[in-house]
Structure 1
Amino acid sequence: MDPETLKLLLDPDGYALLDSLPPYDESLAMALSERLRADGHAPALVAAALTQSRLRKKAHEKFADFAADMLFTADGLEQATRLPVAARHAERFAGAGVRTVEDLGCGIGSDSMAFAAMDLNVRAVDSDEVTAAIATMNLRHFPSASVTHARAEDVDLTGADGVWLDPARRDNGSRLFDPEAFSPPLSFVSEVAERVSAVGAKLGPGIPHASIPAGAEAQWVSVDGGVVEAGLWFGALARAGVGKAALVLGPGGAVELTDVDLPGQDVGEVGDYLYEPDGAVIRAGLVTGLLPITDGRLIDPKIAYVTSDRAVDTPLATGYVIDDVLPMSLKKLRAYLAERNVGIVTIKKRGSNIVPEQLRQQLRLSGDNEATIVLTRVGKSHLAMVVRPLEHAGEHAHDKR
C-alpha cells in the first residue's frame, strides 16, 4: 500500500465506505466495484476499500473478529503473528514482571495489541512509514500503546524494561535465509539481549540450530498442525534449564515438549502403530521426547517416525494404524493396491527420494477405495507402510505381519 492509498482509506468518508461493505465475496467483487463507482465513489478509493475487505476476510484466520476493525497490507498480514501466539508472547513478558515493551519491527501491530491487552505499556516501532501508520490505526483502542516510525537500530534502549524484535525476513518479496541478512540482523538481537534483561525475538521456523545464540531458549510453535515461528527468549524470559522447546496449539489447547530430561534414542522394529511428530517437535529436534509418551521407539535413528505397539492420543504427533508393511517395490505395491481396488492414494514420505506425484502415475490406480502410503527407510531397506489415521481406525490393530 502506498501513502496516497492509505490517505484515501483514513479519510472519514473512505473509512465509512470500508466499514459499510458486506462480507467479502470474490464472485461478487466486480459487480460491487461497478456499483460503488456508479454511486460516485472514486475508483482508487473503491479499489482500496475492496482490497482491505478482502484482506480482512483472509485475516480472520489469524485475528478472528478483531480483523473486522483492522487495516492490513498483504505482506504485513502474511508476516503478522496470530493473536493466540502473540498472547503467549505477552504472557512471557508479563510473567517476568516486565511493564514496558519496546516492540521493534512491529509490522501491523499484532504483537503490540497482545502486549497492550495484557496491560503492558508498549512503544511500537517500524521502519516503514505506511506500516507504522497502519499499526497506529490498529492500536488506536489501546491508550498504553504508541507507535514510532524509526529503524530498530536507531531506537534508544537506555533503561528499557523489555524488548521484542520481529526482524524482516523478506527482501522485495523474496524470503531470506541468512540470519545476518534479516532487518535487523540476528547479531543485533544478540546485542540487544546483552543490554536489556528481558528480550524476545520472532524468527522463521527454518532457523538453523547452529544460528541460535548461546544462552537463548528456542521455542518452535505450531498452530493447527502448521509451524508458524521459532521464538528466541533471553535473560528473564528464558526458562531455566530449557534450551529447546516445541509448543503445539490446537483445538484442544496447548501442549509443550522441552529438552529437559530428553530421553536417548531407542530404535526397534516397526510395530502396530506409527506416529508422525508435529512439525514443531521435528524442528526443535525433540522427536525422542515422544518415546515415553507413546511407549515407542524410532524406526531409524535418522528418520522422524516413531512406532509403537500401543494406540496413544497426543497432540504432539499424528497417529496411524499400520495395516501392512511392504518392501518398496513398484510392482508389489501396484499389485497390492490393485487387489484392494484402491484408486486414490495419499503418499507421505520421510527418508525417501521418491517423488510422490511420479509414483502416483506409475501405480496406474483405478478403483473406488482410498489408502495412505508412508514411504520411509529403515537402515538400508526402503519400506512402504499402508496406514490408516488412528482416529478413524475403530478397533485397535493387532499384529498383521
Structure 2
Amino acid sequence: MGYSFGREDVAFLGSAAGIAALAEVDRLELTSATHLRDLERVRRAHEDRAASLVETVRLRRRATAKLADAETWLFTDDALQQATPTLVARHRAARLAGRAVHDVTCSIGAELAELARACPSVIGSDLDDVRLSMAAHNLADARNVLLAKADALASCSVGTVVIADPARRADGRRTHDPAKLQPPLPDLLLAYPGRDLAVKCAPGLDFDRLDWSGEVEVVSLDGAVREACLWSQGLAESATRRATVLNSHGETWTLTDTESDEIPEQEPGEWIIDPDGAVVRAGLVRHYAAKHGLWQLDPRIAYLTGNQVPEGVRGFRIIDRLEYREKSLRTELRKRECGALEILVRGVDVDPDQLRRRLKPSGSQPYTLVITRIGRNAAAFLCTAHGTRGATGDARLPALPTAPV
C-alpha cells in the first residue's frame, strides 16, 4: 500500500528543512536488504518524519523511469502508479497546443506539467487535498496553471478542452468496465455535453460498447501499450481509430483507419511479424499490413506474415512449419539441438512455461516457437528471431479485439 501522506507531510517535504532531509535520505541505499537499517537511521535523525522521507525518496527513484523532473516531485504510491508517462502526456499536449485546457482529474500534476508547456492557460482540479497540495509543489514554476478542488462530474470551467483520467480500479482490482471507473465513464461523458473532451482509458476497454462518435487513439511507449484516449469529434483528426507508437528516443509514428486495409490472402511468407500492441488494440492490423506489404496468417489472428520485416519491428524468420503435437515437436526440437526456447502464442489455449517444461529443450541452439490458429487448426512455426521491438520472452497473446482489424 505505501505510506499514507497528509497535507502536513507535503508542507514539511516542500520546506527548506524537508528538502535538506530528503537530500540526506537520498544518500542511503534503501534496498530491501538495507531497509530496516536505513529506516532506523532516518528515525533517529527525523523521528516521526522518517516514514514520509523514506517513502518519498523511494517513489522518486521509481518515478525516474516514467516522469521527467521526478527527482524533485512529491508523490503518493497510487498517484505514481496512475500517472501518465511524460512522453505520452507530451504527445497529447502537442495535439492540444494553443488551447485552454482543464484537467478535471489532475492528481499530482503529471499531465499538467506537459500541458503547461504547450497551452496558454491550464486548470487542474481534483477532490483529493493531498494530491492537490503535491501538484502545487510539483508545478510551482508553472505560472499558467490554476489549481482548484472540484468534482470531475461538476463542470466548473467554460471555453476549455476537458481532459479526464478516470481511475481504473474498482474494489481494489483493475477493471475494464466503463461503468466501474472512478468517475464512471458514462457519467463523465454526460457531464460535459457538447464540450471538446479527451478521456484517458485502459486500452482493454471494449470501445464498440461505448458508441463513441469521435476518435479512439491507442498509445504505446517502448513496446508497451499505455493507454487509449477518447477524443471527441471536435478534437478528432478525421480518423475514428488511431494507433500511436512512441519510444524514448523520440521516434514516433501513427496509423489510422483512413488508410487502406486491402491485403491479399496468401500462404505464409518468409517472416512472421508481431505488430505493435497499439496497432492490435486499435483494430488496425489489416491497415498496418497493407502499409507494409504484409498479410495475415489468419483473418482472426493479429500475427502478420510477409517477405520483409518493417523497420524497427521484431520479426521471426520461419525455418519450418510443424504439426502442433507435443510428441512430434519434442522430437523435432531435439533433432535441431534446441536450447533456449522462446514460445509465443495467439489464439490457442497454451501456457508457454508449462509447454516448455514438457518439451524439455536441452541443446545449444536458440529458437522461437510461434503457435497460432490458422482456420480451425493450431499450427506451430519454428523460427529464429530478428528485430528491435521489445525484449524476447514468452507471451500468451490475445486474439484480436472486437474492433475491426
| 1:246-261 equivalences in 2 (<5 Å) | 246-250=243-247, 251=249, 253-261=251-259
| Residues 280-316 of structure 1, C-alpha deviations (whole Å, 9 max, x = no match) | 100000000122333121111101111112x23334x
Other structure's SS at 1:194 match: coil
Instruction: Kindly state the Cα deviation for residue 149 of structure 1 after the two structures are TM-superposed.
Output: 1.9
Decide whether the 8 Å contact of 1:262 with 1:286 is kept in 2: no
Equivalent residue for 1:397? none
Written as runs of structure 1 = structure 2, the 5 A alignment for 1:144-223 is: 144-157=144-157, 159-196=158-195, 198-223=196-221
Q: Could you list the per-position Cα deviations for residues 22-50 of structure 1 after superposition, in whole angstroms to 9, with x for gaps in the alignment?
A: 27551444433333333x311x3222111
Q: Check conservation: 2:86, 2:110, Cα contact below 8 A.
A: yes
Worse overlay, 165-174 or 369-378: 165-174
The residue type equivalent to 2:112 in the other structure is: S
Query: 2-side partners of 1:140 and 1:346: how far apart?
Result: 48
The Cα shift of 1:374 comes to 0.6
Q: CA deviation at 1:270?
A: 1.1
Aligned length: 381
Cα deviation 1:348-395 (Å, max 9, x = unaligned): 000111221221121122223322111111112211111222239xxx
How much has 1:67 moved relative to structure 2? Answer: 0.5
Please list the CA deviations of residues 37-65 of structure 1 after superposition, one character each: whole Å capped at 9, or x if unmatched: 33x311x322211111111111111114x
Equivalent residue letter for 2:275: P
* Structure 2 CA distance for partners of 1:23 and 1:201, relative to 1, 3 Å: farther
1:208-260 per-residue CA deviation (whole Å, 9 max, x = no partner) reads: 121344321000000011000001111332112x0001000123600111000
**What one-letter code is carried by the residue in structure 2 that aligns with 1:17?**
A
What is the CA-CA distance between 1:319 and the residue it aligns to? 1.6
Distance 1:228 1:294, change over 3 A: same
Unaligned stretches of 5+ residues in structure 1 = 393-401
Q: Work out which of the residue numbers 324, 328, 344 in structure 2 matches 1:328.
A: 324
Taking the aligned partners of 2:102 and 2:223, their CA distance within structure 1 comes to: 30
1:54 matched to 2:58: yes
Residue 193 of structure 2 aligns to a residue whose secondary structure is helix
**Is residue 242 of structure 2 the alignment partner of residue 245 of structure 1?**
yes
Task: Name 2:40's counterpart in structure 1.
Answer: 34
Q: Give the whole-Å Cα distance in 2 for the aligned partners of 1:23 and 1:83.
A: 27
Q: Distance in 1 between matches of 2:305 and 2:194?
A: 46
SS in 2 for 1:307: strand
Q: Decide whether the 8 Å contact of 1:343 with 1:366 is kept in 2.
A: yes
Match of 1:395 in 2: none
Residue type at the aligned position of 1:363: L
* 2:311 paired with 1:314: yes
Which residue is 1:342 aligned to? Answer: 338
Whole-Å Cα distance in 1 between the matches of residues 189 and 133 of structure 2?
28
What letter corresponds to residue 36 of structure 1 in structure 2? Answer: V
Task: State the Cα distance separating 1:76 from its structure 2 match.
Answer: 0.7
Per the alignment, do residues 287 and 90 of structure 1 end up closer, same or farther by CA in structure 2, a change over 3 Å counting? same
Q: Structure 1: which amino acid aligns with 2:245?
A: V
Q: Percent identity?
A: 33
Q: Structure 1 CA distance, aligned partners of 2:140 and 2:209?
A: 37
Per the TM alignment, residue 161 of structure 1 is displaced from its structure 2 partner at its CA by: 2.1
What is the Cα deviation at residue 19 of structure 1? 3.0
**Distance in 1 (alpha carbons) for counterparts of 2:70 and 2:347:** 41
Partner of 1:353: 349
Q: Deviations over 1:71-102 (max 9, x none)?
A: 111111111111111111111111xx41x211
The separation in 2 between residues aligned to 1:326 and 1:222, in whole angstroms, is 33
1:271 aligns with 2:269: yes
Query: What CA distance in whole angstroms lies between the structure 2 residues aligned with 1:276 and 1:180?
Result: 32
Assess if the C-alpha contact under 8 Å between 1:218 and 1:233 holds in 2. yes
Bigger shift: residues 248-257 or 29-38:
29-38
Question: What TM-score, normalized to structure 1?
Answer: 0.89
- Cα distance change, pair 193–153 in 1 and its aligned pair in 2 (3 A): closer
Map of 1:137 onto structure 2: 137
TM-score of the pair, normalised by structure 2 = 0.88
Distance in 2, Cα, partners of 1:25 & 1:328 = 49
The answer to whether the 8 A contact 1:291-1:306 is kept is yes
User: What runs of 5+ residues in structure 2 fail to find an aligned partner?
Assistant: 389-405
| Change in 2 beyond 3 A, CA 1:218/1:307 | same
